[in-house]
Amino acid sequence: MNVPIWTLSGGKTMKSILSWLLRTAVTLCIVTSSFAVVSAGVSPPSTLDKIDQALSAGRLSRDLATLYKVYSVHAPEKLPMEYRPETEIIARCGTPVLLEALREMPNLSPSIQASITEAQSRPTTTNTYDSPGQYYKIHYDIVGTHAVPTADGNSNGIPDYVENLALYADSSWEHEILTIGWREPPSDGLSGGDSRYDIYAQSIAYYGYTQSETAGPEPWADYSSYIVVHNNFIGFPPNDDPDGNQAGAAKVTVAHEFNHACQYAYDAFDEFFIYELTAVSMEEEVFDIVNDAYNYLDSFFDYPYISLAEYSNHAYSTFIWALYLYQNYDTQVMPDIWEVMRYHNVYDGHDTALVARGTTAAKEMSLFTDWNYLTSFRDDGFHHEEAADYPYLNVNYTENTYPVSRSQTGSTRPQGWAANYSRFNPGTFANKILKVEFNGQNDVEWGYTGIGYRAGQECLISVADIDPVTGDGALYLPFFPDLDYIVGVATSLRRSTAGSNYVYTATALTPGDVNEDNNINPLDVVLLVNFVYKGHDSITPIDAFGDCNCDGQNNPIDVVLLVNYVYKSGDAPCE
């Protein structure tokens, strides 16, 4: 007999409940229709919208709101008419709704708990098929509401749809567990007929979902589970699969939901955002050619100031953070993060896994936000592997004259693990050095970087040394010799979704002022001569202050130009 899904097994720690209550108490009410797959424009309220609105207005109790959300996934026919969607919407994944219910269950009345448990029971089907790899049992019908397409090209009595689903599932198991190293989903015993992992094909309003069932044997928050996927995937959003949209949707759904099943081997009670971020990244890893996840990237690039940890439709687009880590390190990084999450939180997981790789979460997040600028037509071929296929993001500010000072305290200031972008155009200052002084909100850890953008060439990234206490730092970036413009990237590294304020001042400085004292004089000549001819230390703060002809080099020609200017009334540097 299954243990009720809200019960912790004997040795399980209370981290699973207490940590979640402390860190995500407000989050429970924001699993909304932002997860729906809809066309552009304003869409009518979905079932989850209506439930949340009624809960906020006091028209629904927490108990009923949780039950109705579960019904929206498992039994939409049981919903009162007022909460049913006005138009049919296929949503991406029902797992977040079910995670919410799992976490809320201890707070619900016994009668509501019983109703939820009943709703979450496994579907009943007529037929089963064991996958060739023997990892899965596929449950399906060939007649009725939940019937799968019955085409049987090899005339073996098994619908092609089911055989293909099994192959996609085997590929997901082998890639995620055998190649990458994820833990296997906790066993469900003989539920579903035997010990194989169970996948049910059903007519649902989602691509799929993963339902947790029984608390596992480990001392952390692990759970057994089963998966439900759509029974035909007809009419779903387009993707790039050469086998067609239907096959592509089925492939990524199996990879996505199976990763949720693997996640249940680690922790069912951490920050909501990491579940979808990770699962979508596995779609790209297992079935890279499909690119179904590209349907969600606009949410990320249109709103780069929104936190990576924001729990909304934004969560589906944040998979590129995981891809960034895979590209720069290895695919094992995400299972390593989840290993730490068994006893700690997702941020601790990032710290531990990245320190083990010789870096830090703060450093990588700051560089990641730089990479996100270099996409679409800005792709230089040296950053995101598929950057050319990603959308481009818009900057927050564009500067054309200097000095200029800018204060960001508005609604688009960066939330934690998110960024703002400022474009500095050279204009009449093409032969100047841009100094950007940054001052971020004092109680926030910041990253500030500069991208030297040049179309068709590798774009150079400079990193400011930001004081961790004051949030102060500066960058010096020459507009010469061949930059189109400079982009300043302010990244909030705070571990919350709160926005953070900052101020920057940009000033155009003159080459030849080697010691940056706002006066070109014999001392500058001495410093440059010592640097060029005597091998003295580099010019402070950057060598470009000694580049008197703005050709990107420091050599005797620069010395001659500076001597002629200081002693012989020659042309000013870079004129």
Residue 401 lies in a domain: yes
CA atoms of 451 and 419, how far apart (whole Å) = 14
Look at residues 278, 293, 318 and tell me which one is the last residue of a structural domain.
278
CA pair distance 382, 303, nearest whole angstrom: 23
Q: Are residues 108 and 163 in the same domain?
A: yes
Q: What is the pLDDT of residues 431-442, one digit of tens each?
A: 999 999 999 999
Helix runs in 130-272, H state only: 160-173, 245-263
- Judged by average pLDDT, the poorest of 40-49, 174-183, 232-241, 531-540 is 40-49
Q: 552 and 436 in one domain?
A: no
Residues 245 and 106 in one domain: yes
The verdict on 44 and 155 lying in the same domain is yes
pLDDT band at residue 384 using 50, 70 and 90 as cut-offs:
very high
Last residue within a domain, chosen from 278, 297, 317? 278
pLDDT of 490 higher than 70: yes
Contact call for residues 327 and 385 (beta carbons, < 8 A): yes
Residue 327 lies in a domain: no
Give the pLDDT confidence score for residue 42 in this predicted structure: 57
The pLDDT assigned to 12 comes to: 38
Residue 1, pLDDT score? 30
Has residue 283 been placed in a domain?
Answer: no
User: How far apart, in whole angstroms, are the C-alpha atoms of residue 102 and residue 96?
Assistant: 10
Mean pLDDT of all residues in 106-134? 97
Higher pLDDT, 410 or 535: 410
Q: What percent of the chain clears pLDDT 90, i.e. is strictly above it?
A: 87
pLDDT at 32 over 80: no
pLDDT tens per residue across span 196-225: 999 999 999 999 999 999 999 999 999 999
**18 pLDDT higher than 50:** no
* Of the ranges 18-32, 84-98, 423-437, the best mean pLDDT one: 423-437
User: Do residues 454 and 555 share a domain?
Assistant: no
Would you say residue 7 lies in a domain? Answer: no
Looking up tokens 């919208």 gives 49
CATH number at residue 467: 2.60.120.380
- Domain extent for 272: 15-278
Dihedral angle over CA of 7, 8, 14, 19, nearest 10: -60
3-state SS class at 132: coil
pTM for the full predicted model: 0.91
154 plus 55 within the same structural domain: yes
Mean of the pLDDT values across residues 411-426? Answer: 98
Residue 62: inside a domain: yes
Instruction: Tell me, yes or no, whether 88 and 207 share the same domain.
Output: yes
Angle (nearest 5°) at CA 55 between 41 and 106:
120
Query: Does a structural domain hold residue 85?
Result: yes
Same domain, 549 and 446: no
Out of 472, 488, 509, a domain closes at: 509
Judgement on whether residues 150 and 253 belong to the same structural domain of the protein: yes
Tokens at residue 522, please? 């014999």
Cβ neighbours for 212, distance < 8 A, ≥ 6 positions apart: 5, 98, 99, 102, 223, 224, 225, 264, 268
Task: Look at residue 202 in the predicted model and tell me its pLDDT.
Answer: 98
406-438 core/surface letters (b: 16 or more CB in 10 A; e: else): eebeeeebbbbbbbbbbbbbbeebebbbbbbbb
Number of compact structural domains in the chain: 3
**pLDDT tens digit string along 228-251?**
999 999 999 999 999 999 999 999
User: Is residue 339 in some structural domain?
Assistant: no
One domain, residues 505 and 532: no
Residue 382 domain flag: no
Mean of all residue pLDDT scores within the chain: 91
Q: Are residues 530 and 504 in the same domain?
A: no
Write the single-letter amino acid at 394. N
Assign 188 a pLDDT band (cuts: 50, 70, 90): very high
Q: What is the pLDDT of residues 518-573, one digit of tens each?
A: 899 999 999 999 999 988 777 878 999 999 999 999 999 999 999 999 999 999 99
Q: Are residues 457 and 548 in the same domain?
A: no
